[in-house]
Amino acid sequence: MKRKNVYYLTPALLAVIIFASNFLSTDLFKAGYQNFSVWFVLSVFSFACGWLMNKTLGYVHGGKVVFAVIVASSFISVVLISFFNEYFGVNNLIAENMVLYILRNITLGAMAFFGMAVCEVIHYQREHRQLNSTVNTYEKTIEVAQKEAKIIFEEAKLKSEKMIYEAQKNLQSILDIKNQIESRIKEFIAAEKDLINKHEKEEDE
């Protein structure tokens, strides 16, 4: 599949979404439904990006790109948090908080993988239905062809039997004519012999 450069805008958008998640609070439910709604919207966008990448970049190559985006975003997040730890409020337990931020990035990346997987499953289901339809069409065509072949075979069998019967009938007629000719020839020869015998007797007298 030929991949255009514009297709890589989708992974770039996914990277922006993952990076933007670093500026959200980690306490989703304590912060209220508004923060959770933003996380839900980011997850939906990540899912849509994965779906689009599966359409444009393919499942295998797109999966590699998503993995690269997750790794790059996680690395940038760790660097950003390390330099601006006061802004992100990670003065204490910095290692645990970094792991938490990395897990959030991985979660959004996993949503992109999920979007790719759903798109691929739907694609294969569609192909499966098309293949089943094609197979059913071929089976119906084969069934019709078998019926037509059977009819043609029966017609050819009847014609051949008729031809054999006609040939046997003609052969019998020829044999009857032959027997009649042989019988007449024998009668003619017998009559000739009688005439010759009579002629010889008359000459002797």
CB atoms within 10 A of CB 31: 14
Nearest to 115 by CA among 45, 50, 39: 50
Tally Cβ neighbours within 10 Å of residue 53.
Answer: 28
Contact present, 114 and 47 (Cβ < 8 Å): yes
- What would the pLDDT profile of 116-143 be if each residue is shown by its tens digit? 888 888 888 888 888 888 888 888 888 8
With beta carbons less than 8 A apart as the criterion, state whether 1 and 60 touch: no
pLDDT of residue 29: 44
On whether the CB atoms of residues 24 and 39 are closer than 8 A, the answer is: yes
- Terminal CA-to-CA distance of the chain, rounded, Å? 121
Report the pLDDT value the prediction gives residue 66, as an integer from 0 to 100. Answer: 85
Residue corresponding to tokens 């002797």: 204
Average pLDDT by stretches of 10, the chain with 205 residues = 68 80 59 64 86 83 85 82 64 64 82 88 88 87 88 88 86 84 83 76 65
Return left, alpha or beta for 4; rule: phi > 0 is left, psi -120 to 50 is alpha, else beta: beta
Q: Any residues with CB less than 8 A from the CB of 120 and at least 6 apart, and which?
A: 54, 59
pLDDT value at residue 202: 67
134 Cβ contact list (under 8 Å, min separation 6): none
Residue with structure tokens 């499953």?
A: 121
152 three-class SS = helix
